[in-house]
Structure 1
Amino acid sequence: MTMSDTSEASSSSARHEVEFTWRRTARRAFRAPGLLPAATFIVVLLVWEASCRIFQIPPFVLPAPSRVLGGFDSIPVMRWIDHVWATLRVALLGYVVSIVVSLPVAVMLARSAVLSRAIYPILVVVQSTPVVAVAPIIIVALGSGDLPRVVITCLITFFPLVVSTTTGLMATPPELIELSRSLRAPVMREITQIRFPYAVPYIFSALRISVTLAVIGAVVAEFVAAEKGVGYFIQFSTSMFQVQQAWAGLVVLVLLSLILFQIVTLAQRFWFPWSLPKERI
Protein backbone atom coordinates (compact mmCIF):
# COMPACT_ATOMS: atom_id res chain seq x y z
CA MET A 1 0.00 0.00 0.00
CA THR A 2 1.40 3.35 -1.06
CA MET A 3 1.58 6.50 1.01
CA SER A 4 -1.29 8.09 -0.97
CA ASP A 5 -3.53 5.08 -0.34
CA THR A 6 -2.80 5.30 3.38
CA SER A 7 -3.64 9.03 3.51
CA GLU A 8 -6.87 8.49 1.55
CA ALA A 9 -7.91 5.69 3.89
CA SER A 10 -7.22 7.79 6.97
CA SER A 11 -9.10 10.81 5.57
CA SER A 12 -12.05 8.58 4.64
CA SER A 13 -12.06 7.10 8.14
CA ALA A 14 -11.97 10.56 9.69
CA ARG A 15 -14.81 11.69 7.44
CA HIS A 16 -16.93 8.69 8.42
CA GLU A 17 -16.20 9.34 12.08
CA VAL A 18 -17.29 12.98 11.76
CA GLU A 19 -20.51 11.93 9.99
CA PHE A 20 -21.22 9.36 12.68
CA THR A 21 -20.67 11.98 15.41
CA TRP A 22 -23.02 14.43 13.68
CA ARG A 23 -25.70 11.75 13.29
CA ARG A 24 -25.42 10.73 16.92
CA THR A 25 -25.62 14.37 18.07
CA ALA A 26 -28.67 15.01 15.87
CA ARG A 27 -30.32 11.84 17.14
CA ARG A 28 -29.78 12.90 20.76
CA ALA A 29 -31.03 16.40 20.01
CA PHE A 30 -34.27 15.11 18.53
CA ARG A 31 -34.77 12.85 21.54
CA ALA A 32 -34.44 15.80 23.92
CA PRO A 33 -37.81 16.49 25.60
CA GLY A 34 -39.62 19.49 24.22
CA LEU A 35 -37.21 20.16 21.35
CA LEU A 36 -39.21 18.49 18.59
CA PRO A 37 -42.57 20.06 19.61
CA ALA A 38 -40.88 23.49 19.84
CA ALA A 39 -39.34 23.06 16.38
CA THR A 40 -42.70 21.97 14.95
CA PHE A 41 -44.41 24.98 16.54
CA ILE A 42 -41.84 27.35 15.05
CA VAL A 43 -42.29 25.80 11.60
CA VAL A 44 -46.08 26.22 11.88
CA LEU A 45 -45.65 29.89 12.82
CA LEU A 46 -43.30 30.48 9.87
CA VAL A 47 -45.67 28.78 7.43
CA TRP A 48 -48.58 30.76 8.87
CA GLU A 49 -46.74 34.07 8.53
CA ALA A 50 -45.53 33.28 5.02
CA SER A 51 -48.99 32.15 3.86
CA CYS A 52 -50.62 35.35 5.11
CA ARG A 53 -48.05 37.47 3.29
CA ILE A 54 -47.89 35.48 0.04
CA PHE A 55 -51.63 34.99 -0.41
CA GLN A 56 -52.43 38.43 1.09
CA ILE A 57 -55.06 37.06 3.46
CA PRO A 58 -57.07 39.95 4.97
CA PRO A 59 -56.22 40.52 8.65
CA PHE A 60 -59.90 40.40 9.64
CA VAL A 61 -60.05 36.83 8.25
CA LEU A 62 -56.74 35.45 9.51
CA PRO A 63 -54.13 37.78 10.99
CA ALA A 64 -50.47 36.85 10.69
CA PRO A 65 -48.54 36.02 13.90
CA SER A 66 -46.83 39.41 13.69
CA ARG A 67 -50.24 41.13 13.76
CA VAL A 68 -51.30 38.94 16.69
CA LEU A 69 -48.28 40.25 18.59
CA GLY A 70 -49.53 43.72 17.77
CA GLY A 71 -52.80 42.78 19.43
CA PHE A 72 -50.92 42.30 22.70
CA ASP A 73 -49.35 45.76 22.47
CA SER A 74 -52.68 47.49 21.87
CA ILE A 75 -54.02 46.43 25.32
CA PRO A 76 -52.50 47.72 28.60
CA VAL A 77 -50.78 45.14 30.79
CA MET A 78 -53.05 45.79 33.78
CA ARG A 79 -56.10 45.14 31.63
CA TRP A 80 -54.61 41.82 30.52
CA ILE A 81 -53.93 40.89 34.15
CA ASP A 82 -57.50 41.80 35.10
CA HIS A 83 -58.99 39.60 32.37
CA VAL A 84 -56.63 36.68 33.03
CA TRP A 85 -57.26 36.76 36.77
CA ALA A 86 -61.05 36.79 36.25
CA THR A 87 -60.84 33.67 34.07
CA LEU A 88 -58.24 31.95 36.26
CA ARG A 89 -60.23 32.55 39.45
CA VAL A 90 -63.39 30.97 38.08
CA ALA A 91 -61.47 28.08 36.47
CA LEU A 92 -59.62 27.21 39.69
CA LEU A 93 -62.71 27.54 41.88
CA GLY A 94 -64.70 25.25 39.61
CA TYR A 95 -61.78 22.85 39.37
CA VAL A 96 -61.33 22.58 43.13
CA VAL A 97 -65.05 22.17 43.78
CA SER A 98 -65.20 19.49 41.09
CA ILE A 99 -62.36 17.58 42.76
CA VAL A 100 -63.95 17.83 46.20
CA VAL A 101 -67.27 16.51 44.89
CA SER A 102 -66.02 13.91 42.41
CA LEU A 103 -63.71 11.94 44.74
CA PRO A 104 -66.43 10.91 47.25
CA VAL A 105 -68.81 10.12 44.38
CA ALA A 106 -66.15 7.92 42.78
CA VAL A 107 -65.61 6.09 46.06
CA MET A 108 -69.34 5.42 46.35
CA LEU A 109 -69.52 4.15 42.78
CA ALA A 110 -66.54 1.85 43.33
CA ARG A 111 -67.86 0.52 46.64
CA SER A 112 -71.48 -0.11 45.66
CA ALA A 113 -72.70 -1.77 42.47
CA VAL A 114 -76.24 -0.59 43.22
CA LEU A 115 -75.18 3.06 43.41
CA SER A 116 -73.09 2.62 40.29
CA ARG A 117 -76.09 1.36 38.30
CA ALA A 118 -78.28 4.13 39.74
CA ILE A 119 -75.98 7.16 39.45
CA TYR A 120 -73.77 6.43 36.47
CA PRO A 121 -76.55 6.79 33.83
CA ILE A 122 -77.44 10.18 35.34
CA LEU A 123 -73.81 11.29 35.03
CA VAL A 124 -73.78 10.19 31.39
CA VAL A 125 -76.96 12.19 30.71
CA VAL A 126 -75.47 15.29 32.37
CA GLN A 127 -72.26 14.93 30.37
CA SER A 128 -74.20 14.41 27.13
CA THR A 129 -76.11 17.67 27.60
CA PRO A 130 -74.34 20.54 25.79
CA VAL A 131 -73.14 22.97 28.43
CA VAL A 132 -73.45 25.87 25.99
CA ALA A 133 -77.20 25.19 25.81
CA VAL A 134 -77.58 24.86 29.58
CA ALA A 135 -75.38 27.86 30.46
CA PRO A 136 -78.06 30.55 29.86
CA ILE A 137 -80.50 28.62 32.07
CA ILE A 138 -77.90 28.40 34.83
CA ILE A 139 -77.18 32.12 34.55
CA VAL A 140 -80.90 32.94 34.86
CA ALA A 141 -81.31 30.64 37.84
CA LEU A 142 -78.19 31.62 39.79
CA GLY A 143 -77.60 35.22 38.74
CA SER A 144 -74.65 36.86 37.04
CA GLY A 145 -71.93 36.51 39.69
CA ASP A 146 -69.13 33.95 39.99
CA LEU A 147 -71.46 31.19 41.25
CA PRO A 148 -73.07 30.26 37.90
CA ARG A 149 -69.68 30.37 36.16
CA VAL A 150 -68.22 28.05 38.78
CA VAL A 151 -71.18 25.68 38.34
CA ILE A 152 -70.69 25.64 34.57
CA THR A 153 -67.00 24.88 35.06
CA CYS A 154 -67.87 22.03 37.44
CA LEU A 155 -70.28 20.51 34.94
CA ILE A 156 -67.50 20.32 32.35
CA THR A 157 -64.72 19.02 34.63
CA PHE A 158 -66.78 16.70 36.86
CA PHE A 159 -67.36 13.72 34.56
CA PRO A 160 -63.72 12.89 33.61
CA LEU A 161 -62.69 13.02 37.26
CA VAL A 162 -65.46 10.67 38.40
CA VAL A 163 -64.96 8.15 35.60
CA SER A 164 -61.16 7.98 35.84
CA THR A 165 -61.11 7.86 39.64
CA THR A 166 -63.74 5.11 39.70
CA THR A 167 -61.75 3.14 37.11
CA GLY A 168 -58.60 3.51 39.19
CA LEU A 169 -60.33 2.42 42.40
CA MET A 170 -61.74 -0.62 40.61
CA ALA A 171 -58.28 -1.48 39.23
CA THR A 172 -57.09 -2.64 42.66
CA PRO A 173 -56.22 -6.38 42.60
CA PRO A 174 -59.14 -8.34 44.11
CA GLU A 175 -56.80 -10.47 46.25
CA LEU A 176 -55.65 -7.35 48.13
CA ILE A 177 -59.25 -6.39 48.82
CA GLU A 178 -60.04 -9.89 50.05
CA LEU A 179 -56.93 -9.88 52.23
CA SER A 180 -57.84 -6.57 53.86
CA ARG A 181 -61.39 -7.77 54.53
CA SER A 182 -60.16 -11.08 55.93
CA LEU A 183 -57.99 -9.08 58.33
CA ARG A 184 -61.04 -6.96 59.18
CA ALA A 185 -59.36 -3.74 58.14
CA PRO A 186 -61.56 -0.63 58.40
CA VAL A 187 -63.25 0.55 55.23
CA MET A 188 -61.42 3.87 55.37
CA ARG A 189 -58.06 2.12 55.53
CA GLU A 190 -59.01 -0.06 52.58
CA ILE A 191 -59.85 3.04 50.55
CA THR A 192 -56.91 5.23 51.55
CA GLN A 193 -54.12 2.64 51.78
CA ILE A 194 -55.11 0.04 49.18
CA ARG A 195 -57.48 1.47 46.59
CA PHE A 196 -56.21 5.04 46.27
CA PRO A 197 -52.53 4.15 45.61
CA TYR A 198 -53.65 2.11 42.60
CA ALA A 199 -55.95 4.94 41.51
CA VAL A 200 -53.32 7.72 41.67
CA PRO A 201 -52.20 7.39 37.99
CA TYR A 202 -55.83 7.43 36.87
CA ILE A 203 -56.65 10.40 39.11
CA PHE A 204 -53.78 12.51 37.81
CA SER A 205 -54.62 11.59 34.24
CA ALA A 206 -58.11 12.99 34.86
CA LEU A 207 -56.70 16.01 36.71
CA ARG A 208 -54.55 16.96 33.72
CA ILE A 209 -57.54 16.70 31.39
CA SER A 210 -59.92 18.48 33.73
CA VAL A 211 -57.63 21.45 34.42
CA THR A 212 -57.71 22.35 30.73
CA LEU A 213 -61.47 21.74 30.62
CA ALA A 214 -61.81 24.13 33.58
CA VAL A 215 -60.41 26.94 31.46
CA ILE A 216 -62.87 26.02 28.70
CA GLY A 217 -65.74 26.05 31.19
CA ALA A 218 -64.77 29.48 32.49
CA VAL A 219 -64.60 30.84 28.94
CA VAL A 220 -67.99 29.34 28.01
CA ALA A 221 -69.51 31.00 31.07
CA GLU A 222 -67.92 34.31 30.11
CA PHE A 223 -69.41 34.06 26.63
CA VAL A 224 -72.88 33.89 28.21
CA ALA A 225 -72.65 36.54 30.93
CA ALA A 226 -69.54 38.35 32.16
CA GLU A 227 -68.03 41.81 32.34
CA LYS A 228 -64.42 40.70 32.41
CA GLY A 229 -62.33 37.67 31.58
CA VAL A 230 -60.42 36.43 28.56
CA GLY A 231 -63.56 34.88 27.06
CA TYR A 232 -65.41 38.16 27.43
CA PHE A 233 -62.42 39.97 25.90
CA ILE A 234 -62.41 37.66 22.86
CA GLN A 235 -66.15 38.07 22.34
CA PHE A 236 -65.93 41.85 22.68
CA SER A 237 -62.94 42.06 20.31
CA THR A 238 -64.64 40.03 17.59
CA SER A 239 -67.80 42.13 17.89
CA MET A 240 -65.64 45.22 17.28
CA PHE A 241 -63.80 43.47 14.37
CA GLN A 242 -60.52 43.58 16.31
CA VAL A 243 -59.55 40.11 15.16
CA GLN A 244 -55.87 40.44 16.08
CA GLN A 245 -56.86 41.21 19.68
CA ALA A 246 -59.18 38.19 19.73
CA TRP A 247 -56.31 35.99 18.52
CA ALA A 248 -54.10 37.46 21.23
CA GLY A 249 -56.73 36.46 23.79
CA LEU A 250 -56.80 32.97 22.31
CA VAL A 251 -53.02 32.72 22.69
CA VAL A 252 -53.37 33.76 26.34
CA LEU A 253 -55.95 31.00 26.92
CA VAL A 254 -53.67 28.40 25.34
CA LEU A 255 -50.72 29.51 27.48
CA LEU A 256 -52.91 29.47 30.60
CA SER A 257 -54.08 25.92 29.89
CA LEU A 258 -50.53 24.73 29.20
CA ILE A 259 -49.23 26.28 32.42
CA LEU A 260 -51.98 24.67 34.52
CA PHE A 261 -51.39 21.34 32.76
CA GLN A 262 -47.69 21.48 33.59
CA ILE A 263 -48.40 22.43 37.21
CA VAL A 264 -50.52 19.29 37.65
CA THR A 265 -47.83 17.20 35.96
CA LEU A 266 -45.14 18.61 38.24
CA ALA A 267 -47.33 17.99 41.29
CA GLN A 268 -47.57 14.32 40.39
CA ARG A 269 -43.83 14.14 39.71
CA PHE A 270 -43.03 15.81 43.05
CA TRP A 271 -45.50 14.11 45.41
CA PHE A 272 -46.22 10.79 43.64
CA PRO A 273 -43.14 9.95 41.54
CA TRP A 274 -43.77 6.22 42.03
CA SER A 275 -47.01 6.54 40.02
CA LEU A 276 -45.16 7.58 36.85
CA PRO A 277 -43.52 5.24 34.31
CA LYS A 278 -39.79 4.97 34.88
CA GLU A 279 -38.90 6.79 31.65
CA ARG A 280 -40.96 9.83 32.76
CA ILE A 281 -39.51 10.27 36.22
Structure 2
Amino acid sequence: MSKPPRFARPFSRLLANAAPALIAVEALVLAWEGYAGLSGISPTTLPTPSRVVSQAIEHRGALLENTIPTLGATVFGFAFSLVVAFTFSVLIDFFTPLRRALMPVFVVSQTLPLVAIAPLIVLWFGFGLAPKIMLVALVTFFPMLVALLQGYAATDRDIEALLASMGASRATLFRLARLPSALPYFFAGLRISITYAVVGAIFAEYAGAAKGLGIYMLNAKNNFRPDLVLAAVSVSAVLTLALFGAAMVIERLATPWSQRDKGRRP
Protein backbone atom coordinates (compact mmCIF):
# COMPACT_ATOMS: atom_id res chain seq x y z
CA MET A 1 0.00 0.00 0.00
CA SER A 2 1.55 3.30 -1.10
CA LYS A 3 2.10 6.09 1.41
CA PRO A 4 0.17 9.35 1.00
CA PRO A 5 2.10 12.26 -0.55
CA ARG A 6 4.23 14.24 1.88
CA PHE A 7 2.20 17.43 1.37
CA ALA A 8 -0.99 15.54 2.28
CA ARG A 9 0.27 14.53 5.74
CA PRO A 10 0.06 18.01 7.35
CA PHE A 11 -3.41 18.44 5.82
CA SER A 12 -4.60 15.12 7.25
CA ARG A 13 -3.18 16.05 10.67
CA LEU A 14 -4.96 19.40 10.45
CA LEU A 15 -8.27 17.67 9.70
CA ALA A 16 -7.75 15.24 12.56
CA ASN A 17 -7.03 18.08 14.99
CA ALA A 18 -9.98 20.15 13.76
CA ALA A 19 -12.48 17.28 13.75
CA PRO A 20 -13.63 17.62 17.41
CA ALA A 21 -14.21 21.36 17.00
CA LEU A 22 -16.08 20.85 13.72
CA ILE A 23 -18.30 18.20 15.29
CA ALA A 24 -19.07 20.48 18.25
CA VAL A 25 -19.94 23.41 15.97
CA GLU A 26 -22.12 21.19 13.79
CA ALA A 27 -23.99 19.88 16.83
CA LEU A 28 -24.54 23.43 18.08
CA VAL A 29 -25.84 24.59 14.68
CA LEU A 30 -28.19 21.59 14.43
CA ALA A 31 -29.53 22.27 17.93
CA TRP A 32 -30.05 25.93 17.01
CA GLU A 33 -31.81 24.96 13.77
CA GLY A 34 -34.07 22.52 15.56
CA TYR A 35 -35.01 24.90 18.37
CA ALA A 36 -35.61 27.93 16.13
CA GLY A 37 -37.59 25.86 13.63
CA LEU A 38 -39.74 23.83 16.02
CA SER A 39 -40.32 26.24 18.91
CA GLY A 40 -42.38 28.65 16.84
CA ILE A 41 -40.18 31.60 17.80
CA SER A 42 -40.36 34.53 15.40
CA PRO A 43 -37.57 34.82 12.78
CA THR A 44 -37.26 38.48 13.78
CA THR A 45 -36.21 37.27 17.23
CA LEU A 46 -34.14 34.18 16.44
CA PRO A 47 -33.67 33.19 12.79
CA THR A 48 -32.60 29.68 11.89
CA PRO A 49 -29.03 29.10 10.65
CA SER A 50 -30.44 28.09 7.26
CA ARG A 51 -32.19 31.47 7.00
CA VAL A 52 -28.99 33.26 7.98
CA VAL A 53 -27.10 31.41 5.24
CA SER A 54 -29.79 32.05 2.62
CA GLN A 55 -29.93 35.76 3.47
CA ALA A 56 -26.15 35.96 3.40
CA ILE A 57 -26.16 34.49 -0.11
CA GLU A 58 -28.98 36.80 -1.20
CA HIS A 59 -27.20 39.89 0.16
CA ARG A 60 -23.68 38.75 -0.71
CA GLY A 61 -23.04 41.87 -2.78
CA ALA A 62 -23.76 44.22 0.12
CA LEU A 63 -21.82 42.01 2.53
CA LEU A 64 -18.79 41.97 0.25
CA GLU A 65 -19.01 45.73 -0.28
CA ASN A 66 -18.94 46.27 3.48
CA THR A 67 -16.34 43.59 4.20
CA ILE A 68 -13.66 45.28 2.09
CA PRO A 69 -13.50 48.49 4.21
CA THR A 70 -13.42 46.41 7.42
CA LEU A 71 -10.62 44.23 6.05
CA GLY A 72 -8.68 47.32 4.96
CA ALA A 73 -9.00 48.94 8.39
CA THR A 74 -8.01 45.67 10.06
CA VAL A 75 -4.90 45.11 7.93
CA PHE A 76 -3.65 48.71 8.03
CA GLY A 77 -4.44 49.06 11.74
CA PHE A 78 -2.73 45.79 12.59
CA ALA A 79 0.32 46.67 10.47
CA PHE A 80 0.59 50.01 12.29
CA SER A 81 0.18 48.20 15.61
CA LEU A 82 2.95 45.78 14.68
CA VAL A 83 5.36 48.60 13.86
CA VAL A 84 4.54 50.46 17.08
CA ALA A 85 4.88 47.34 19.25
CA PHE A 86 8.21 46.33 17.72
CA THR A 87 9.63 49.88 17.91
CA PHE A 88 8.76 50.31 21.57
CA SER A 89 9.97 46.80 22.43
CA VAL A 90 13.39 47.59 20.96
CA LEU A 91 13.58 50.94 22.74
CA ILE A 92 12.59 49.39 26.06
CA ASP A 93 15.06 46.53 25.60
CA PHE A 94 17.96 48.87 24.81
CA PHE A 95 17.09 51.52 27.39
CA THR A 96 15.89 49.82 30.59
CA PRO A 97 14.66 53.04 32.32
CA LEU A 98 12.07 53.38 29.55
CA ARG A 99 10.34 50.26 30.89
CA ARG A 100 9.57 52.00 34.18
CA ALA A 101 8.49 55.13 32.33
CA LEU A 102 6.37 53.62 29.55
CA MET A 103 4.93 50.32 30.75
CA PRO A 104 2.53 51.92 33.27
CA VAL A 105 1.27 54.18 30.47
CA PHE A 106 0.73 51.19 28.18
CA VAL A 107 -1.08 49.27 30.92
CA VAL A 108 -3.38 52.23 31.56
CA SER A 109 -4.10 52.46 27.82
CA GLN A 110 -5.55 48.95 27.97
CA THR A 111 -7.98 49.95 30.74
CA LEU A 112 -9.64 52.67 28.66
CA PRO A 113 -13.20 51.63 27.69
CA LEU A 114 -13.56 51.54 23.90
CA VAL A 115 -17.23 52.45 24.19
CA ALA A 116 -16.12 55.86 25.48
CA ILE A 117 -12.88 56.31 23.51
CA ALA A 118 -14.11 55.28 20.05
CA PRO A 119 -16.67 58.12 19.60
CA LEU A 120 -14.09 60.66 20.77
CA ILE A 121 -11.46 59.43 18.31
CA VAL A 122 -14.01 59.54 15.50
CA LEU A 123 -15.01 63.05 16.59
CA TRP A 124 -11.37 64.23 16.60
CA PHE A 125 -10.17 62.49 13.41
CA GLY A 126 -13.32 62.16 11.29
CA PHE A 127 -14.99 59.22 9.59
CA GLY A 128 -12.05 58.14 7.45
CA LEU A 129 -9.51 55.38 7.84
CA ALA A 130 -7.32 57.09 10.47
CA PRO A 131 -9.57 56.58 13.56
CA LYS A 132 -10.13 52.93 12.65
CA ILE A 133 -6.38 52.33 12.36
CA MET A 134 -5.84 53.99 15.73
CA LEU A 135 -8.53 51.93 17.47
CA VAL A 136 -7.31 48.65 15.97
CA ALA A 137 -3.77 49.52 17.08
CA LEU A 138 -5.01 50.43 20.56
CA VAL A 139 -6.55 47.01 21.16
CA THR A 140 -3.82 44.90 19.49
CA PHE A 141 -0.37 46.34 20.17
CA PHE A 142 -0.09 45.55 23.90
CA PRO A 143 -0.11 41.70 23.68
CA MET A 144 2.59 41.85 21.00
CA LEU A 145 4.68 44.30 23.03
CA VAL A 146 4.53 42.13 26.16
CA ALA A 147 5.28 38.97 24.15
CA LEU A 148 8.34 40.56 22.53
CA LEU A 149 9.71 41.78 25.86
CA GLN A 150 9.25 38.33 27.40
CA GLY A 151 11.00 36.81 24.40
CA TYR A 152 13.98 39.12 24.76
CA ALA A 153 14.22 38.25 28.46
CA ALA A 154 14.19 34.51 27.66
CA THR A 155 17.39 34.67 25.61
CA ASP A 156 19.95 32.04 26.59
CA ARG A 157 22.57 33.78 28.73
CA ASP A 158 25.31 31.42 27.54
CA ILE A 159 24.73 32.46 23.93
CA GLU A 160 24.87 36.12 24.90
CA ALA A 161 28.08 35.53 26.87
CA LEU A 162 29.65 33.70 23.94
CA LEU A 163 28.81 36.48 21.49
CA ALA A 164 30.02 39.13 23.94
CA SER A 165 33.33 37.28 24.37
CA MET A 166 33.75 37.44 20.60
CA GLY A 167 33.39 41.21 20.69
CA ALA A 168 29.78 41.46 19.48
CA SER A 169 28.14 44.85 19.96
CA ARG A 170 24.80 45.35 21.71
CA ALA A 171 23.09 45.65 18.31
CA THR A 172 24.72 42.41 17.12
CA LEU A 173 23.66 40.64 20.31
CA PHE A 174 20.12 41.81 19.74
CA ARG A 175 20.10 40.71 16.08
CA LEU A 176 21.74 37.30 16.55
CA ALA A 177 20.44 36.24 19.96
CA ARG A 178 17.64 38.28 21.48
CA LEU A 179 15.49 38.76 18.38
CA PRO A 180 15.50 35.07 17.29
CA SER A 181 14.73 34.09 20.90
CA ALA A 182 11.70 36.39 20.90
CA LEU A 183 10.15 35.06 17.69
CA PRO A 184 8.09 32.21 19.24
CA TYR A 185 6.84 34.61 21.94
CA PHE A 186 6.08 37.23 19.32
CA PHE A 187 3.97 34.87 17.25
CA ALA A 188 2.05 33.80 20.35
CA GLY A 189 1.23 37.47 20.95
CA LEU A 190 0.45 37.90 17.27
CA ARG A 191 -2.14 35.13 17.33
CA ILE A 192 -3.80 36.68 20.38
CA SER A 193 -3.79 40.17 18.87
CA ILE A 194 -5.10 39.16 15.45
CA THR A 195 -8.32 37.88 17.04
CA TYR A 196 -8.96 41.36 18.46
CA ALA A 197 -8.14 43.24 15.26
CA VAL A 198 -11.40 42.59 13.39
CA VAL A 199 -13.42 43.30 16.54
CA GLY A 200 -11.58 46.62 16.96
CA ALA A 201 -12.27 47.62 13.36
CA ILE A 202 -15.98 46.73 13.65
CA PHE A 203 -16.29 48.62 16.92
CA ALA A 204 -14.70 51.68 15.28
CA GLU A 205 -17.28 51.43 12.49
CA TYR A 206 -20.05 51.28 15.06
CA ALA A 207 -18.80 54.59 16.42
CA GLY A 208 -18.92 56.23 13.00
CA ALA A 209 -18.35 55.09 9.42
CA ALA A 210 -19.82 55.30 5.95
CA LYS A 211 -19.28 51.61 5.13
CA GLY A 212 -18.10 48.48 6.87
CA LEU A 213 -19.42 45.43 8.66
CA GLY A 214 -19.95 47.45 11.82
CA ILE A 215 -22.24 49.99 10.17
CA TYR A 216 -23.92 47.15 8.24
CA MET A 217 -24.75 45.36 11.51
CA LEU A 218 -25.99 48.61 13.04
CA ASN A 219 -28.32 49.30 10.10
CA ALA A 220 -29.57 45.69 10.07
CA LYS A 221 -30.29 45.87 13.80
CA ASN A 222 -32.20 49.14 13.39
CA ASN A 223 -34.27 47.50 10.64
CA PHE A 224 -35.07 44.50 12.88
CA ARG A 225 -33.12 42.06 10.67
CA PRO A 226 -31.27 39.74 13.05
CA ASP A 227 -30.64 37.36 10.15
CA LEU A 228 -28.52 39.99 8.41
CA VAL A 229 -26.81 40.89 11.68
CA LEU A 230 -25.84 37.24 12.17
CA ALA A 231 -24.78 36.99 8.52
CA ALA A 232 -22.39 39.90 9.05
CA VAL A 233 -21.20 38.35 12.34
CA SER A 234 -20.48 35.12 10.46
CA VAL A 235 -18.47 37.02 7.85
CA SER A 236 -16.44 38.73 10.58
CA ALA A 237 -15.79 35.34 12.23
CA VAL A 238 -14.58 33.86 8.93
CA LEU A 239 -12.39 36.92 8.43
CA THR A 240 -10.87 36.48 11.90
CA LEU A 241 -10.23 32.79 11.31
CA ALA A 242 -8.58 33.55 7.97
CA LEU A 243 -6.25 36.10 9.56
CA PHE A 244 -5.48 33.70 12.41
CA GLY A 245 -4.64 30.99 9.87
CA ALA A 246 -2.41 33.41 7.94
CA ALA A 247 -0.56 34.21 11.18
CA MET A 248 0.04 30.50 11.78
CA VAL A 249 1.35 30.01 8.23
CA ILE A 250 3.73 32.95 8.62
CA GLU A 251 4.90 31.51 11.95
CA ARG A 252 5.67 28.16 10.32
CA LEU A 253 7.67 29.86 7.59
CA ALA A 254 9.53 32.20 9.96
CA THR A 255 10.36 29.66 12.71
CA PRO A 256 10.89 26.26 11.03
CA TRP A 257 13.14 25.16 13.92
CA SER A 258 10.27 25.61 16.37
CA GLN A 259 8.04 23.37 14.27
CA ARG A 260 10.75 20.67 14.15
CA ASP A 261 11.08 20.80 17.94
CA LYS A 262 7.32 20.33 18.29
CA GLY A 263 7.47 17.34 15.96
CA ARG A 264 10.10 15.62 18.16
CA ARG A 265 7.98 15.89 21.30
CA PRO A 266 6.25 12.66 22.39
Structure 2 length as normaliser, TM-score?
0.89
Q: 2:58 corresponds to which residue? A: 74
1:34 alignment partner in structure 2: 18
RMSD: 2.1
C-alpha deviation, 1:78, in angstroms: 3.1
Query: Secondary structure, in 3 states, of the residue corresponding to 1:128?
Result: coil
Establish whether residue 216 from structure 1 lines up as the match of residue 199 from structure 2.
Answer: yes
Q: Which residue number in structure 2 is paired with residue 234 of structure 1?
A: 217
Off by >6 Å, runs of 4+ in structure 1: 28-31
Shift of 1:44: 0.8
Match of 1:141 in 2: 124
Task: Note the 1:84-163 alignment, pairs <5 A.
Answer: 84-163=67-146
Q: Deviations over 1:83-142 (max 9, x none)?
A: 111000000000001111111211222333311111100000001111221111111111
User: Percent same amino acid among aligned pairs?
Assistant: 32
Closer/same/farther in 2, CA of residues 221 and 190 from structure 1, 3 Å limit: same
SS at match of 1:87: helix
Q: 5+ unaligned residues in a row in structure 1: which ranges?
A: 1-27
Once the two structures are superposed, residues 200-256 of structure 1 have per-residue CA deviations (whole angstroms, 9 ceiling, x without a partner) of 111111111112211111001000011111111111100100110000000000000
User: Is the CA contact 1:30–1:36 (under 8 Å) kept in the aligned structure 2?
Assistant: no
Equivalent pairs counted in the alignment come to 253
Quick check: 176-185 or 47-56, which moved more? 176-185
Q: Pick from 35, 39, 51 the counterpart of residue 51 of structure 1.
A: 35
Query: Following TM superposition, by how much is the alpha carbon of 1:275 offset from its aligned partner in structure 2, in angstroms?
Result: 2.2
More deviation in 31-40 or 61-70?
A: 31-40
Shift of 1:187: 2.1
Deviation of residue 63 (structure 1)?
A: 1.4
> Does the CA-based 8 Å contact 2:127-2:210 persist in structure 1?
no
The residue number in structure 2 matching 1:279 is 263
The question of whether the paired residues in 1 share the 8 Å contact of 2:68 and 2:212 is answered with yes
Separation in structure 2 between the aligned mates of residue 227 and residue 209 of structure 1, nearest angstrom: 28
Q: Which residue of 1 aligns with 2:178?
A: 195
Point out the structure with max Rg over C-alpha.
Answer: 1
Residues 180-203 of structure 1: CA distance to partner in whole angstroms, max 9, x if unpaired? 333331222211210111111111
Q: Secondary structure at the match of 1:58?
A: coil
Contact 1:142 1:148 in 2 (8 A): yes
Aligned equivalent of 1:12: none
* Inter-partner Cα distance in structure 2 for 1:239 and 1:148: 24
Supply the distance in 2 between the matched residues of 1:169 and 1:131 (Cα, whole angstroms): 30
2: CA distance, partners of 1:216 / 1:73: 23
Residue in 1 that maps onto 2:46: 62
TM-score under structure 1 normalisation? 0.85
